[in-house]
Amino acid sequence: MKFAYIVSLPHSGSTILSYNLSEHPDIVFLGEVGYALQRLRESKSQNTSVPCSCGKPAAHCDFWSSVVGRLPARFDEQAGYEIVIEEFQKKFGASKLLLDSNKTVEPLYFLRERPGLEIRGIHTTRDFRGAVVSEARRKKKKRPGRSEWITAIQAGFQWMRKNRAIQRSFGELNLDGMCRTSYEKLCKDPAAEVEKIWRFLGMSPRSFEGLASAQNAHLLAGNTLKSSGGTRTPTYDSRWKSSWIWWPCVLLMPILPLLNKRWVYGRD
């Protein structure tokens, strides 16, 4: 069974990339699987329903309904993943690829030990300037009294530290394949980037159109990204170009532009 796992920092374009990849008929996008399992466990104890991006609650979703029925009152993440994989095989068959945008790298350490699972990892990044400005403005809304400069410096450090950790983990994991992409590359030429990753995943050749109606996705956790006009075309967030709050990051961490060039704009 083929399994693709996207690792990234939050708000780095992993969800829009995953939706676009699921336009291929042999790919099914399940959102952030680990977080979805956590939500299902919480909803089971609270007797609430979790909505799926297909428009149905999890208990009636064509895929998640079978998972809900098997989840015990107590289970760990590894056991939950095992149930998801087994039900995925029953529902879609071994020829389909399960796409998970869980972001954190930890589940890969037990998933790689599962027999019969071919795992390909994708690390997606975002220009640190855009990431810093976006994070500073989100935090400003939650805590208006907090200085954006302090948040920006913290965000710049986290961008460097966490992306380095992802690169190091990918080197340790010895997966069946690894590639790197970025939010900027996806926005610049969605078709070229999606088709490149399809080839990396071993999918049959086809042309990318960006049609939401063609995307096969069942998200319980993650941005549902409602389409506009039947499409989900990536839109570039250029707010950092009119902001200066990312400059202190460069002064304090002069290596950031070099890492930016390598991770975001370089060739994999």
Residue extents of the structural domains in the chain: 2-126+177-237
Question: pTM surpassing 0.75?
Answer: yes
Q: Which amino acid is at 206?
A: R
Task: Indicate the range of 49-53, 134-138, 263-267 predicted with least confidence.
Answer: 49-53
**Paired tokens of 222:** 């993650």
Task: Give the closest residue to 14 by CA, choosing from 43, 38, 35.
Answer: 35
* CATH of segment(s) 2-126+177-237: 3.40.50
Give the residue carrying structure tokens 């976006």: 134
Residues 6 or more apart whose Cβ sits within 8 Å of residue 236? 184, 187, 188
Average pLDDT of the residues in 15-26: 95
Give the confidence band of 139 by pLDDT, cuts at 50, 70, 90.
Answer: confident
How many other C-beta atoms can be found within 10 angstroms of the C-beta atom of residue 161? 10
Question: Pairing state of beta strands 27-29 and 177-182?
Answer: unpaired
Whole-number Cα distances in Å, 173 to 98, 107, 110, 177, 187: 19, 11, 10, 10, 29
Of 42 and 246, the structure prediction assigns the larger pLDDT to 246
Backbone angles phi, psi at 65, to 5 degrees: -60, -35
Confidence band (pLDDT; 50, 70, 90) for 45?
Answer: low
Q: How far is CA 90 from CA 36, 63, 118, 169, 228, in A?
A: 19, 10, 17, 31, 33
> pLDDT tens digits for 164-196?
999 999 999 999 999 999 999 999 999 999 999
Backbone angles phi, psi at 249, to 5 degrees: -60, -40
Q: Which amino acid is at 47?
A: N
Helices 14-21, 190-200: inter-axial angle, 10-degree rounding: 70
The mean-pLDDT minimum among 47-51, 112-116, 160-164, 256-260 falls in 47-51
Instruction: Enumerate residues 6+ apart whose C-beta is below 8 A from 96.
Output: 2, 26, 27, 28, 88
Please give the Cα distance from 35 to 161 (Å, whole number). Answer: 23
Q: In what order do the strands lie in the sheet with 2-7?
A: 27-29, 97-103, 2-7, 118-125, 177-182
Tokens of 89: 């095989």
- Give the pLDDT confidence score for residue 207 in this predicted structure: 95
Tens of pLDDT, residues 56-79: 889 899 999 999 888 877 778 999
**3-state DSSP call for residue 179?**
strand
Closest CA to 83 of 75, 92, 73: 75
